[in-house]
Amino acid sequence: MTMSNLNIAQPISPKDIKDFSKWVMYGGFRRYHNDGRIDDSHLGHDFISYLNTRGKEHFRLSPATPVRAIADGKVKLIHKKPVSYPFSDYELYIAVQHPEHGMTSGYMHVVPCVNIEDTVRKGQIIATLFDTSAYMPDISLATHLHFELGHSLRINLTYPFLNEQIDPLHEIPKLSDISVRPVSPFSPRVRK
């Protein structure tokens, strides 16, 4: 199923960012597992960087940036990573099911302002971004929204990303038109 012909909103509205011109949609981050495995399975997109009207790139968003529901739906999950997860104190994840579209949207690194089972409307503010850069300065993680779209939601209490993911760049109207093609700004790090 494709959502590209549906009337849905972007998870962060360009109108909420002063002097916004285009998104720089980062993807393809390497994931380092506790057991030593490395993979490139970073799915979804990071709303982390944008070009201003003069073409200058800004690589981080303001923690006050509103995060909006992409369509009408119901909040099905607000999940905080378990204490054993390395970044548990800021890994809040919201999942909203959109039955009319047969989709679920996921929002990570946020401070929710909704509750589980709340009904939300398209464009409604459901959270603001969490200031990850101030919380963990030793890893310099820029404040951003990790956003996912999926056909279904399977709750995994240790890693609640969506399954059956689809690329938001191709599904959200106008998003690919106001985006620079995804590339990772980070070079692979060497594990010791």
Hey, how many other C-beta atoms are within 10 angstroms of the C-beta on 190? 5
Does this model's pTM top 0.95? My answer is no
**Cα–Cα nearest to 111, from 60, 42, 64:** 64
Instruction: Check pLDDT > 60 for residue 3.
Output: no
Beta strands in 27-180 (DSSP E): 31-32, 38-39, 45-52, 57-59, 66-68, 73-80, 92-98, 103-108, 110-112, 119-120, 125-129, 145-152, 163-166, 179-180
Confidence label for 170 from pLDDT (cuts 50, 70 and 90):
confident
CA atoms lying within 13 Å on the CB side of residue 175: 25
Locate 110 and state its tokens. Answer: 């946020």
Where does the pLDDT of residue 146 fall: very low under 50, low under 70, confident under 90, or very high at 90 and above?
Answer: confident
pLDDT at residue 2, rounded to an integer: 46
Q: Which fold has domain 14-180?
A: Glucose Permease (Domain IIA) (2.70.70)
Nearest to 107 by CA among 36, 182, 17, 47: 47
Residue % of the chain over a pLDDT of 90: 29
User: If DSSP codes are grouped into helix, strand and coil, which group holds residue 62?
Assistant: coil
